[in-house]
Structure 1
């Protein structure tokens, strides 16, 4: 049974109101399979594990005269309008699949229906591709990735990545962790999640605080100067582009981190900084440091995703050392900046800021988000997927990548998704800002090989 009529939370309403024709608030996922999926079996999995389990997948959004959005059961819900089969035109031509994904990334979801759609793209090289488009007001990226993976043939939570093992807290984390105890629950839970934050900055624990911390986060972010004006930053259009890489061995990334005294995240983000440098130099633009807006999960990974889904994440601004030419020096500097991010409660307090912002009029929401967007150049996400291969509707999942919306009128999004010992790099861009995102993907691989050669 559905939830009937329910007012949308302030954070979810924020993402609903922010959508514009040139900045769609969709989370887009691309799942590539070996061979063909059993469509009838897939339809049954979607019906039982998505539509019947999570009410948001059978609810639409209605907006009151005051502009307040609410969830309402869709009386005329039709699964066949949300799960569709499409051929990949000219599938044998290079870039045909990427072009089709870009077209759908540019197409808004139908607001008279529940805000999601799954496309089975048939005829792609190697096998079927499942393209998922879900509005950000339904769920954040981590929650959506976990929900999509429950469709796998292995069952519910067996396909969900385990939380990283706890590691000793770094100096400086304990101070703000203790201050959060009263708002975050028991000391045991907070310290466990604090240790996860040290292990991987994208896997912060559930350390939410309310009230005045929202204002503190706003003040801190307001002090960040705007990013340099480069071709990556500027007015957007309605046409989007997508590209993703061949899989990169996660073991190679780990070995490189061990050799150069950095974490997996350090290696990947330092490589991203180098790729941005290569791309800017190819445009005859002097490379300067650029901020990446990095979403940070605030939802515990050791409990099921709630039926109501929703958004529970904060953001941090990570300054990528693009100006440093020598790869090893760039990695060391990136590691230093990442350590500062791990010690900071910035992601926790920005969640409170987003909650407060979602209660303000839509024009003010948009103005503040755009102001934040001026302080960054790209959105960078790094999400862990299943450690072992999974199958869906009888077909083995070969690769997975996804992109969250480029909030704040940013024209570039980069995703790093690990799955079954491999890492996929995905680039989503506005056609006005980065006409050929594949160039950034190639630059990423070139930079990774250059760093590997130096380590060797």
Structure 2
């Protein structure tokens, strides 16, 4: 009988297809370390902990069964030559004589190359790249810092599952490190309107107060059918995927999780609502700079994953994919930031409390069981329904260590599934937020500009809340 960890879920079967060439379905995590460990530390402290779960020492196989599954690779250990030959790459030191901004460009260029490469399907589906003497934070002592770039195929696990595994099995002390949603209890858009200004309240019409249930039902149907409709024409979808990836990542921002909580509470929304609104504003500004008219792009949508993981405990089965993906409107056609905040908050509330995520998950489960000649084109169609993907992955709330070496900051890149070519990612760690953007070069030529616009939008929303 096939063991539970080796079975592929419906989502994992779709990820295994990689129906769109030149767009690897691979998660990338960048961990900045406060020290510059030796190679011995990698093989004696880090890798044995990673390999504790059998999926990290197994490869994907397709044999007599209809669906792929994981099969253990004999002798695959932290000290094996099989692992050392492919799975661990020691990068050369980036020229220490250069100023930090130039070293950062060289690092991001190399990271873009790494993210453009697929993983060998005949080996365990992960790779580790070690950058000595490098930190994304300019204030740190570069010679005494280092960065780990971990690439994991999405069939192994989703982002929340990997974070839970990190906190349960990899870090030195997991006391009090249970995963918690980076949100406060959500409130309705009406309450957000009270805090965001008079013009926001004006958008909440008498009809919406009389028929909220009917409107929410219609909004859920629109979300589901929107998942089946190709995206509106804009710079993020206009070009064909070319395969060359580009990325940009910023050090931890000045606004902390505590500040964001206060701002969200003052606005009567959740932190996720605030981030979603910030993404909307950043995409609006970026597309405008690319020559698009955001005022007429009412149909632009964004993919958002919803986790099904239990957030208060870790189980072996958490190293898997337990999520639903829906596409929601970004409302970039709304110029006024306050009005856009109300619309985005209402959209998130309807999506979180409605039936759309569950229905989409059921739909994907059905598609995953279809023959490949039907399944692949349907998956390609689904991934054309959004201009970008937005993820917000909560990490450890306190500083953690691996083998006695502290993690300074974490960046997390979700994969670009199917035809999606732009990914916007936020990650919380130790009370701070890191932001990053990556995608196909044909879809986003300047990821640095987009991530800067994202941070600016978050700052403007904090100002809107009057939180000091």
2:159 maps to 1:141:
yes
**Distance in 2 between the 1:105 and 1:84 partners?**
14
Change (3 A) 1:324 1:442: same
- Tell me, in whole angstroms, the C-alpha distance in 2 between the residues paired with 1:264 and 1:72: 40
Distance 1:362 1:231 in 2: 31
What's the counterpart of residue 329 of structure 2?
A: 319
Q: 1:159 to 1:118 in 2, by over 3 A?
A: farther
Q: Report the counterpart of residue 132 of structure 1 in structure 2.
A: 150
Cα deviation code 1:13-62 (max 9, x no counterpart): 221112544110101111112231354234233443221x2111111122
368-377 or 252-261, larger mean C-alpha shift: 252-261
Kindly state the Cα deviation for residue 341 of structure 1 after the two structures are TM-superposed.
1.0
> What 5-or-longer segments of structure 2 have no aligned partner?
77-81, 136-141, 190-219
Stretch deviating more after TM superposition (27-36 or 74-83): 74-83
How far apart are 1:242 and its partner, in Å?
1.2
The whole-number CA distance in structure 2 between the counterparts of 1:331 and 1:55 is 44
| CA shift in 2, pair 1:292/1:164, >3 Å | closer
Give the superposition deviation at 1:157. 6.2
Query: Residue 332 of structure 1: CA displacement?
Result: 1.6
Aligned residue number for residue 189 of structure 1 = none
How many Å separate the matches in 1 of 2:20 and 2:108? 23
Whether contact under 8 Å (2:184, 2:270) holds in the other structure is no
Aligned-partner Cα distance in 1 for 2:33–2:383: 35
Q: CA deviation at 1:66?
A: 7.0
Counting only pairs closer than 5 Å after superposition, residues 152-231 of structure 1 correspond to structure 2 as 152-156=170-174, 158-162=176-180, 220-221=224-225, 225-231=229-235
Query: Quick check: 1:303 aligned with 2:313?
Result: yes
Q: In the alignment, which residue of structure 1 is the partner of 2:37?
A: 37
Structure 2 residue aligned with 1:97? 107
Distance 1:136 1:341, change over 3 A: same
Q: Structure 1: which 5+ residue stretches go unaligned?
A: 172-215
The answer for the alignment partner of 2:428 in structure 1 is 418
Q: Secondary structure at 2:316's aligned position in 1? A: coil
How many residues align? The count is 410
Q: Could you tell which deviates more after superposition, 396-405 or 354-363?
A: 354-363
Distance (whole Å) between structure 1 residues aligned to residue 354 and residue 434 of structure 2: 28
Q: Does 1:254 align with 2:261?
A: yes
Task: Name the SS of the counterpart of 2:14 in structure 1.
Answer: helix
The structure-2 alpha-carbon separation of the partners of 1:217 and 1:263, relative to structure 1 and needing over 3 Å to count, comes to closer
TM-fit CA distance, 1:340: 0.8
Deviation at 1:95, TM superposition (A): 1.4
* Alignment map for 1:17-166 (pairs within 5 Å): 17-18=17-18, 20-51=20-51, 53-64=52-63, 68-75=67-74, 77=76, 78-80=82-84, 81-90=86-95, 92=98, 93=102, 94-125=104-135, 126=142, 127-150=145-168, 152-156=170-174, 158-162=176-180
State the TM-score, normalizing by the size of structure 1.
0.82
- Alpha-carbon separation, structure 2, partners of 1:258 and 1:163: 15
Shift of residue 352, structure 1, vs aligned partner: 2.5
* Alignment partner, residue 448 of structure 1: 458
1:431 alignment counterpart: 441
Q: What residue is the counterpart of 2:370 in the other structure?
A: 360
Q: Which one is further off, 23-32 or 250-259? A: 250-259
CA–CA separation in structure 2 for the residues paired with 1:363 and 1:158: 47
For residues 239-297 of structure 1, give each alpha carbon's deviation from its aligned partner in whole angstroms, at most 9, with x where no partner exists: 10111123232223223223333221111111111111111111121012421111111
Residue 341 of structure 2: aligned partner:
331
Following TM superposition, by how much is the alpha carbon of 1:131 offset from its aligned partner in structure 2, in angstroms? Answer: 0.5
SS in 2 for 1:95: helix
RMSD (CA atoms):
2.9
The separation in 2 between residues aligned to 1:90 and 1:283, in whole angstroms, is 34
* Greater Cα shift, 162-171 or 394-403: 162-171
Taking a change above 3 Å as real, the CA distance of residues 79 and 223 of structure 1, as seen in their structure-2 partners, is closer
2:69 & 2:371 partners in 1: Cα distance?
Answer: 16
Please give the alpha-carbon distance, in whole angstroms, between the structure 2 residues aligned to 1:134 and 1:371: 25
